[in-house]
Structure 1
Amino acid sequence: MHTRTARIAMAAAVVAATGVLTATFVSSGGKGTADAATELNQFVPIQQVQPNVRNPAPGAQASSGVFTVDCGTNGNGKFSPDNPVAQPGIKNGAEHLHDFIGNLAITTNSSDADLDASGTTCRNGDKSSYFWPVVRIDRTVRSGAEVARALSATTPMVTCPSVRNRLPAVPARARAAVDTRLASLDRVAAAADKRMAASKGRIDARLNASVLADLRTQRARLIKGISDDIAAAGGGRTSGLVSLVECDASYDGMHAGMRHSVAGVKAALAASAQIQCPTVRDKLPGVPAQAVGEVNRSLAELDRQLSEANERLITTRGQGGNNFVDNAILGPLKAKRTAVLDRIGIAISRNAARPQGLETLAGCTVTGQTEGDQNGGAATPSAPAALPDPQGPNLELPNNTGGVVRPASVLIEYRGNATSKVVPMPKFLRALTGDAKPTSRGPANARATWTCSGFTDRLADKYPICPKGSQVQRVQDFPGCWDGKNIDSTNHRDHLAFADAATGACKQGFAAIPQLRITISYDIPRDVQVKGQFALDSFPEEDHNPFSDHNDFINVNSAQTMQKIATCINKGKTCR
């Protein structure tokens, strides 16, 4: 691997007088020499962390069972910089690499139906998707100067999921109203960009929070209006649009100022190659009311065809010769898409002019050769420049370099509640834990996750240095309380809550559900730990902050399996 000047961890300090979170960089002064003291401030011997894990005492109605699921350790190599929960529809939305286990078809654009039809790595047939940022070992010199320079030249902006690309067929009677609201979405995002530009060259978490909260409110109103317009025109109620409300503070511009350790790498080496197809939903005119149902079924079929093709890329990796993907996957996919696009044209033409050019949307490409923009459709004023795909044998992205450490084991547990029985999780529930951006969004949702095997009575917000023979571990608990209604919310959090830390009870209006805990264990050489040479993939402004650890989940267990999980937990049993 080409040697490069690597990063030093970025520390975040809250300035109490102003409430502004300011990024502070500590470096070797650009001398290109290793400064262990500045690197090691992000590492801590686990013995120096005081026990801090407190489990509430179980009450009379406690549900004390545990249901364990074995989904492997990503042995099939499904890696992606997408985040289908927090950044749905945004290619490379995470800007860092995730391990994916469970659902084989999932991409940032997968529909619930696509997820439900997928294969899985889980032994019990669980099609849920579990994913988290990878850990890397990088033995090169670390200096924060490069990151500091990149930030100083960066104007933050917002990045938002595209709504145009995720809409169902829009009835002709609603087309004008929907287009007006889509234009308004563009305008409010552009206005948010102007507000965020005030913090060019620095990170202001308070400003970011204010901008994102205002933008969330406006987008929620406009997106609900789009849904209402479609329903009022006879298009039926839309689903899943709430997941597209939340935007994020983006420092994508930092990538341009960071050197990449791998140059000129062919797309064939990219991580978990994905098939990208031209979007169709945003190319359709208003659809005659008589054709809405048929067009929606055809759009769903196009989604499923793409998911099946992406799953085949994973399950057939290494098969065939150089032309295998073209002949066995892309060719048949184009033929199937051509037929469906023709059906859409015919359905519309029965009562209106047939849309022209749909046949040009049939051909698809593999990651790295994508036609059209990288966000999957029409660019918006808030769409940053496309990021590179993961490259090279180490699947690297700018500033996320070094060899990926594969987990030695992944333990997935569904656990009970200290005060009550649990109710089954709803299918397609979205959940996340931790915060990938505690520096740029503030640390309120961040969680300490780091520990060592044998020391799980304590969790650190720094990377652990473990005793000889002990594994580095990440213990990630998800919220265990549900609002009883929603599978997602505008900020991807409000529909769930953590139980009270002291009592274990859910807050009023929330019911206990099986609480997901994922424990990821790594065999990392002790000298690597002592020298501070392993780190978490992260967004550029976090610069491998260990407190940015996080995990995401979509429940695709069948209703029967989830009931089995809840019953096991409520009976106090240990099951798998």
Structure 2
Amino acid sequence: MGRNRKRSTLANRAIVASAALILGGGGLVAVNTYASAGEGWSWSGQQDEQTQNQTKGAGQTVSTIDCPEVANDLPDVPEQARPEVDRELATMDSQITDAYQKFAEQKEQIEQDPQLAQNAILNPLKDKRLASIDRISVAINRAGQQPQGLDSLAPCALRPDDNVNAGEGDNGGDAQDGAQDGGQDGGQNDGQDNGQDGGQDDGQGNDQGGQAGNGPEAGDFVDIQSVEPNVQQPQQRRGGSKGTFTTDCGKNENGKFNPDNVIVAPGVSNGAHHMHDYVGNQANDAFASDDDLAGGDTTCRNQGDKSTYYWPVLRLQNGQDENDAAADGGGNDKNVGEIQTPSQVTLNFVGSPVSKVTAMPRLLRIITGDAKAFTNGDANANASWSCTGFEDRQLKDKYPICPEGSQVVRSFKFQSCWDGQNTDSANHRTHVAFADGNGNCGDGFQAIPQLVQRIVYDVPPGPGFAVDSFPEQLHKPITDHGDFINVFDENLMNKVVNCINTGQKCQ
């Protein structure tokens, strides 16, 4: 069966990216290679316990740089300190990107002399992070109470590659992921390659991790047909809100891309270090103010919805360059391959199974998922992966291999509880929350319309695709995430709430 693959070429499209050093030949270096059995990592000299624990492991090679997420440990940041704090957090992301690039470029030397990583990469990175943390503390102290203990978050470590032995075993025996989380996680891997490989071969049988050399790998994929159904829905109760409001904002036919994130890194070009697809509001870039968003054009059919919806682009890992191959957010940040235009984007707002919903406040910001979940852990991971025809089987930390005739599906269920006061918070998370397993919001929170986002791609069968990511996140599927800023006008938001609360299906 033939497939009509849709490609979004960046020529003649609006790319907002800051000027940066263009990578020279060989700049995209493979870093995920196999280590000999029993080979571990140890550093001579003194090192912190985190580094010792994360840089040694029999049979594993080091694949990335793992740094604590400072934003997650910040206290309440006073409003007047937020711009400076956000800039410093973005600077720390750039510091990790630069350090990861040095790691990739010096991989062979580090294999010969592991102390080189400590001296040339980890120690200088720690010093830069300490300086940024100090500036964050000073900024918060000017407007409130100086935070304590942030210096402990400065040291980073080299992380072993979790996928080195993926699929290995006696005669390609079974390897099962085993984790299932509320219908968003789970999956099984039969351990057999079957001629399908998510990475590139170096000519000697070693998977080099995608065309940029830093992922994805074969172990990041699983055959969706081997996954058991795992979706569970909260039971609808009397008093719940069963309606749906659908907004049609297109599939980014306009080709609006940039590597900014106005929520997390306002005022910082390339704050995301990966390219985003945008639908809805067309004024969104790093420098967009609330007034800019309120006055921006929208791709949404209902012009009362000027909200902005954005997510990392998905690319084919087929050896073909996109026009951002030498640009920030693209090749400069190890995001390479042809950007794929979705075949379908569905944006639904749904209700609560146990209560009525209240209107979202204008300019409410919500981030779902964690762009750094590979190193942060899966506490905030929230994207689901599946295939059309198999959406009762959802994956959290694997990409699906779909059978012929089936398309790849990414899904995001955004937070559905709001604290009733704030449109944002210091870590961009604590002002909203997920309902519990029964659909109830926590104390002090109220139910709001829940954005459910579904993005479908018609890509060739097999494991040859990945989402953009921060370089050190290695394009892992668990790092997928979505962003939303509510710019509904008051009348339309009231319609959304009424439709949901009265059980209607509206658009």
TM-score tier by shorter-chain length is 0.5 to 0.7
Q: 8 Å contact 2:273–2:470 — kept in the other structure?
A: yes
The structure with the greater share of residues assigned to helix is 1
Q: Secondary structure at the match of 1:449?
A: strand
Q: CA deviation at 1:455?
A: 1.7
Residues 415 and 34 (structure 1 numbering): CA distance in 2 closer, same or farther, change over 3 Å? farther
**Equivalent residue for 1:130?**
309
Cα distance 1:454–1:79, how it changes in 2: closer, same or farther (>3 A)? same
Distance 1:30 1:73, change over 3 A: closer
Question: Structure 1 pair 114/9, CA: closer, same or farther in 2 (3 Å)?
Answer: farther
Q: In structure 1, what is the equivalent of residue 481 of structure 2?
A: 550
Deviation at 1:113, TM superposition (A): 1.1
**2: distance between equivalents of 1:475 and 1:440?**
22
Runs of 5+ consecutive residues of structure 2 not aligned to the other structure: 1-8, 10-24, 35-49, 56-65, 67-157, 165-198, 210-216
Please name the residue that 2:421 is paired with.
Answer: 485
1:430 maps to 2:369: no
Q: Give, in angstroms, the shift of residue 120 of structure 1.
A: 0.3
- Please give the secondary structure, in 2, of the residue aligned with 1:411: strand
- Please tell me whether the aligned partners of residues 6 and 140 of structure 1 are also in contact (alpha carbons under 8 angstroms): no
Displacement of 1:139 in angstroms is 2.1
Residue 444 of structure 1 pairs with residue 379 of structure 2? yes
Match of 1:389 among 325, 328, 340: 328
Larger Rg, first or second structure (1 or 2): 1
Distance of 2:389 and 2:32 partners within structure 1: 27
Tell me how far apart the structure 2 counterparts of residues 491 and 451 of structure 1 sit (CA, whole Å). Answer: 29
Equivalents in 1 of 2:266, 2:458: separation in Å? Answer: 32
What secondary structure sits across from 1:114 in the alignment?
helix
Q: 2:253 aligns with which of 75, 99, 119?
A: 75
Return the alpha-carbon distance in structure 2 between the equivalents of residues 10 and 482 of structure 1. Answer: 45
**C-alpha displacement of 1:479:** 0.2
Q: 1:33: how far off? A: 4.7
Of 281, 284, 292, 1:103 maps to 281
* Residue matched to 1:466: 402
The answer as to whether partners of 1:53 and 1:459 remain within 8 angstroms in 2 is yes
Say if 2:32 and 2:207, in contact at 8 Å, map to a contact too. Answer: no
- State TM-score, norm by structure 1: 0.52
Give unpaired runs (5+ residues) of structure 1: 142-260, 263-268, 272-386
Q: Any conservation in 2 of the 1:454–1:470 contact (CA below 8 Å)?
A: yes
CA shift in 2, pair 1:438/1:270, >3 Å:
closer
**What RMSD over aligned residues (CA atoms) do the two structures have, in Å?**
3.1
Match of 1:564? 495
**TM-superposed deviation, 1:492:** 0.1
2:314, 2:339 within 8 Å by CA — same for their partners in 1?
Answer: yes
Structure 1 pair 123–33 and aligned structure 2 pair: CA distance change class (3 A): farther
**Partner Cα separation in structure 2 for residue 131 and residue 418 of structure 1:** 27
Amino acid at match of 2:398: K
State which of 398, 408, 416 in structure 1 corresponds to 2:343.
Answer: 408
Structure 1 position 29, deviation (Å): 12
State the distance in 1 between where 2:33 and 2:369 align. Answer: 18
For the residue of structure 2 that corresponds to 1:569, the secondary structure is: helix
Encode CA deviations 1:23-79: one digit per residue, 9 max, x unaligned. 223679994555469721100011222222211101101101111110000000000
For residues 145-179 of structure 1, the C-alpha deviation after alignment (integer angstroms, 9 at most, x for no partner) is xxxxxxxxxxxxxxxxxxxxxxxxxxxxxxxxxxx
Contact preservation (8 Å) 1:10, 1:544: no
* Pair 1:116 & 2:252 matched: no
Question: Residues 401-446 of structure 1, C-alpha deviation per residue, up to 9 Å, x if partnerless?
Answer: 1101110010000011010000010000000100000133332111
**Structure of higher RCO (CA pairs closer than 8 Å, 6+ residues apart):** 1
Three-state SS of the structure 2 residue aligned to 1:412 is strand
CA–CA distance in structure 1, aligned partners of residues 307 and 483 of structure 2: 11
Q: Please say if 1:536 is aligned against 2:475.
A: no
SS at match of 2:333: coil
The answer (yes or no) to whether the contact 1:425–1:562 under 8 Å persists in 2 is: yes
| C-alpha distance in 1 between matches for 2:201 and 2:403 | 33
Tell me what 2:223 maps to: 45
Could you say if the C-alpha distance between residues 567 and 541 of structure 1 is closer, same or farther in structure 2, counting changes exceeding 3 Å?
same
1:131-151 deviation per Cα after TM superposition (whole angstroms, max 9, x unaligned): 00011112249xxxxxxxxxx
Which residue does the alignment assign to 1:242? none
